[in-house]
């Protein structure tokens, strides 16, 4: 999904240079965006997004799962 690759909120390469608080803030932005996709996508589309996020950023994937559960 090029959408995530182009979205600066979903980049992960700068994690080593970020503080724990900055990572948490970005994670919350990701969670909010994923929640909006949950509202607008079909279930199949949303599951594809989740699968992609699990590869792109496993930490955010886990945190999203915690928030949704």
Is the pLDDT reported for residue 42 higher than 90?
Answer: yes
What pLDDT, in 10s, does the model give residues 26-38? 888 988 888 888 8
pTM: 0.73
Q: What is the pLDDT of residue 1?
A: 66
CA angle 53, 55, 61 (to 5 degrees): 45
Is the pLDDT reported for residue 68 higher than 80?
Answer: no
Q: Cα–Cα distance between 4 and 64 in angstroms, integer?
A: 15
The secondary structure of the chain as a DSSP string is -HHHHH-GGG--TTGGGS-HHHHHHHHHHHHHHHHHHHHHS-HHHHHHHHHHHHHH-HHHHHHHHHHH-
Work out how many domains the chain is built from and give that number. 1
Q: Which domain holds residue 46?
A: 2-68
What pLDDT, in 10s, does the model give residues 14-28? 888 889 899 889 888
Q: Cα–Cα distance between 22 and 47 in angstroms, integer?
A: 27
């Amino acid at each position: 999904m090029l959408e995530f690759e182009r979205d600066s909120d979903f980049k992960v390469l700068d994690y080593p240079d970020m503080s724990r608080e900055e990572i948490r803030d970005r994670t919350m932005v990701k969670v909010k965006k994923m929640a909006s996709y949950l509202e607008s996508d079909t279930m199949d589309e949303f599951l594809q997004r989740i699968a992609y996020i699990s590869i792109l950023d496993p930490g955010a994937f886990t945190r999203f799962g915690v928030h949704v559960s």
